[in-house]
Each structure stands twice: as structure tokens, then as C-alpha cells.
Amino acid sequence: MKHTVRAQLAQTVNLTPQLLQSIRLLQLTAPQLEMELRQALERNPMLEPDDADEIGETGLEHEAELEAAALEAAAFDELPDAVYLSGGATGGGDDDACARIAETGSSDYRLRLLQELAFAWNERDLRLAQWWLDHSDERGFLERPTAALAADGALALDVDATELEAVRQRLLHGDWPGVAAAGAAECLLAQLLKTPDDATRTLAARILDERIDALAAHDHAALAAALKVDTAQVECAIALILSLRPSAVEEPAEADLGHVIPDVSVRFLGGAWRVALNGRAAPRIRLAAHCEQALAGAPGEHGVLRGLLDEARWLIRGIAMRNDTLLRTTQVLVERQRGFLERGEEAIAPLTLREVADAIGMHESTVSRITSGKYIQTPRGTFELKRLFAVRLDGAEVSGAAVKAMVKRLIDAEPGHAPLADDVIAGLLARRGVRIARRTVAKYRDQLSIPSARLRCKPALAA
């Protein structure tokens, strides 16, 4: 056996407990942060409520805290590229060590599903699964034909198309049955296979595979005649189909849809859009001045108390860093989406995590954490910050969300007796410089739960 010695140069960053705490604070929602601070007040005598400021909206008042945090924490906005965070020169592409901290309760189902799969799938299959999920809409349906996506994925990932399709089948029939389905029928069929195998399931599968149009028309008698079975059997099969989910996407278990607490608000004042933090989203805390002064002048060793004091300081600085990041990120989002705030959905501009990250000098994972589960209050309502991101439509300078809003407006304005067909809508949009295919119009119409032109047609009133 021959032994060799090789010199290797690598740049790494040690994620200290303080820095890890600062990163974790980023992803806490307003209720989670409130609980975190109340627990800190109970267990750490060095902290006390800060009731001096009762202002509901606030900017960044604690400049000294921010400066100290930036110097002592080597804040996460100064971390090098993700390749160095991963441990150096072992390749690995865009792996971010910070991203391995779980983003609990993310609003993006793709992240939640990939986190679940990471326990059982290998890295290669996870990478292929991510391709399919990245090309699925919010309901888990593929945005383009399966064959076209498989061909593009094989080229982009340098794998065989059959291997890529095999991974899609694992997703389709996995723990979230129906994810990465080509359409509603395939999604429902995947869920159907999870039910007990009997005659009713067999008939339901035949309906989905052969007669889904008749199912949509609610013509039970025609279904029974076409399949040569009794109407009662058809009704049992349809009841089974209706018990399935229309979408494979599962909501987070901890999601509370009762109410939301906005983390930031935006108003149009003095000719400009101004962003402010919601000061009532979480209790404000500060160091107990008498404890700090007493400990500073106390003789002897007080290791436990000094540890509590350091913990309190880091928590306060971590919150200041979180607020600073949230405010700067929201300011960029508001500046880039000013058209949306002023004119509505049709004016929402294409915007990605990378563009915002470059604007504030941070990594994409930091922007993802600070926007997940955070809500903004605007004159157009209160919604999650992630709604201000939009994917650019292929071959166009507008976002898919804006085109979807245009499709909805055209349908809302159509005459009831002469609804617009999908190809007509595509032609009207082309006159505005937005060139999309008829199938894209159909996809957006389905996402808006709007039926086809034939089903929207209403008879004209007699004169």
C-alpha cells in the first residue's frame, strides 16, 4: 500500500451557537417569536419587558445594538458564498450549510416535501425530485407536458429520461400521492390506488381513465350506459372519487388560518411607499439595567449569571438583526413591486429570490427564511411576503401571476351569452404584447377554478 501526503486549501466558516441563533430567529413567524420572547423573559432574569415605547409601528431604533451585532456576530450577510459554507473544496454546487437548519412550517409545499423525502431518499434522487417539483404549480400539477419536461430535465441534469420518469413515479405514488401529476385524472388515480382494492375502486379508476369528461358533466346515467353497469354502482364509484383531494398538496399541520399578524406594514405617505415594522407583533425586551450594573461590580465568580447575561445580549442583538433584515428585504420588495401596490395583480413584476438577495447583499436562503411565514399589511390587503415574488413567463417581460390576473379580468368582462374561448383570450393577450399558448390560458383558468367557455355559456334573454 502506498501512502501519499496531499496539501489542500479550503475556506470554511464556523457557525457559532450565537450565529445559529440569529439564523433561527430569521425564520420565526410573529406568533413563534412572541412565544420565544415570553419564554426568554420567564427563564432569564437578565431580561425585562420594554414598555417604554408603545408605538404600534416602528423603524430601527437600536442602532448601537445593530452595530454591535454586526461586529461580534460576523453577521450572516457577510458570510461567503454557499460553496465555502459547505466545507470547502468537495464540489457540491450550491449547497448552503445554513439551509440545513429546518425551515419549520414553510408555506412552500415543495420545501416541506423535500424535507420529508430527505430522510429516506439519496441525494441523486432528491435532485431529480426537485426538478419535477420546481416545474409543478401550486396544486402539485406539472406545468408542461411530461415528455417535454423529461427531455429538458435529462439534458439539464445529465441523466437518462427513463430514470427521471422513474423518480416522478415515486413522487406520484409516494407519501403525497398525486404530486407531480400530469393532470387531475392522474392525481386522482394515484390517490385512488391508496384505497382498498375492490369493485368500487376498479370502477372509479375506469371512470377517471376513460370517462372523466362525463364525470365532469355529472351525467350519471350516461356513465352507467357507457360503462355497462348499474347507476347505483356508478354513484358509489363517484362518491369514492369525491372523497379524494382535488390537489395532492398538503397544508402544514401547524397552519392556523384563523387570523394572521402582519410583521410589517406599508403605506403611501409623502409621495413614497414607506415600510415600517409592526411593533405589536411581539413583546419588546431589554436588559435589566440593575442586574447588569450589580453583576459588573460584584466580587468573585458568577459564571452562571454572566452566562445568562451573555445569552440575553445575544438574543437582543439577534432580534435587532432579524428586524433589520426583515425591514431591508421588505423595502426592496415594495420598491420592485410598486406597480402591484398601485395598480393591482396585472402589474406584478417578475422577481426572484436571487434578485432580492443581490439587492440587500445576502444569500438566497436568508431571503427565503425572512419571507417565509411573514405577512405584510398593504392597502390591497394583508398577505404573505412571498406573494411579492413572481416567476417570469417564458419569452415575455411579465410574470405568470400578472398574466393570470389578465385572464381573470377578460373572463369577468365577457358577455354571458358569448364567453371567450381559450384561443380567443390568447389572441387578445397577444395584442397587448403578451404571447402565450392556448394551453397556458387553460392552465391559468383551471388554477382560477373557472370552467371552460362551453360550461360558462348562458342563454341570451329573449327580447
The predicted structure's pLDDT at residue 99: 42
Among 65-69, 133-137, 266-270, 452-456, name the one with the lowest average pLDDT: 65-69
Does residue 221 sit in the same domain as residue 335?
no
Does residue 220 sit in the same domain as residue 315?
no
Question: Given 370, 390, 410, which residue is the final one in a domain?
Answer: 390
279 within a domain of the structure (yes/no): yes
Reported confidence tier of residue 302, pLDDT bands at 50, 70, 90: low
The predicted structure's pLDDT at residue 434: 76
Reported confidence tier of residue 330, pLDDT bands at 50, 70, 90: very high
99 within a domain of the structure (yes/no): no
Q: What CA–CA distance (Å, rounded) separates 384 from 376?
A: 6
Contact 345, 407 (CB under 8 A): no
Torsional sign, CA 89, 90, 93, 96: negative
Question: Given 390, 419, 438, which residue is the final one in a domain?
Answer: 390
Does residue 18 sit in the same domain as residue 46?
yes
144 within a domain of the structure (yes/no): yes
Tens-place pLDDT, residues 115-155 = 888 888 888 888 899 889 888 887 888 888 898 888 988 89
Instruction: Tell whether the model's pLDDT for residue 396 goes beyond 80.
Output: no
102 within a domain of the structure (yes/no): no
Mean pLDDT (whole number) for 349-366? 86
Does residue 124 sit in the same domain as residue 206?
yes
As a whole-number percent, the residues of the chain with pLDDT over 70 amount to 75
205 within a domain of the structure (yes/no): yes
Does residue 238 sit in the same domain as residue 301?
no
272 within a domain of the structure (yes/no): yes
The predicted structure's pLDDT at residue 168: 92
36 compared with 436, residue with greater pLDDT:
36
Mean pLDDT (whole number) for 342-358? 84
Does residue 216 sit in the same domain as residue 325?
no
Total tally of structural domains belonging to the chain: 3
**Summary mean pLDDT of the chain:** 76
Helix axes 231-242, 199-210, angle to 10 degrees: 80
Q: What CA–CA distance (Å, rounded) separates 225 from 163?
A: 41
Does residue 148 sit in the same domain as residue 50?
no
Does residue 375 sit in the same domain as residue 288?
yes
The predicted structure's pLDDT at residue 1: 54
Instruction: Tell whether the model's pLDDT for residue 329 goes beyond 90.
Output: yes
Does residue 382 sit in the same domain as residue 427?
no
Looking at residue 442, which CATH number applies to its domain?
A: 1.10.10.60
Residue 31's Cβ-count burial label (10 Å; 0-12, 13-18, 19+) is: middle
Does residue 222 sit in the same domain as residue 312?
no
Mean pLDDT (whole number) for 12-17? 56
Mean pLDDT (whole number) for 8-21? 59
Does residue 57 sit in the same domain as residue 170?
no
Q: What CA–CA distance (Å, rounded) separates 96 from 83?
A: 7
Tens-place pLDDT, residues 210-226 = 777 777 777 778 778 88
Tens-place pLDDT, residues 26-74 = 878 888 888 888 888 888 888 888 765 544 555 444 445 445 444 443 4
Tens-place pLDDT, residues 152-178 = 888 988 899 899 999 999 998 988 888
Run of H or E including 166: helix 161-172
Q: What CA–CA distance (Å, rounded) separates 370 from 353?
A: 11
462 within a domain of the structure (yes/no): no
What's this model's pTM, rounded to 2 decimal places?
Answer: 0.53
User: 10: closest CA among 127, 65, 89?
Assistant: 89
336 Cβ neighbours under 8 A, 6+ residues apart = 349, 351, 355, 356, 388
The predicted structure's pLDDT at residue 332: 92
Question: Given 339, 363, 390, which residue is the final one in a domain?
Answer: 390
The β-bridge partners of 200 are none
210 within a domain of the structure (yes/no): yes
**Residue-number span of the structural domain to which 441 is assigned:** 400-456
Run of H or E including 308: helix 303-336
Does residue 373 sit in the same domain as residue 285?
yes
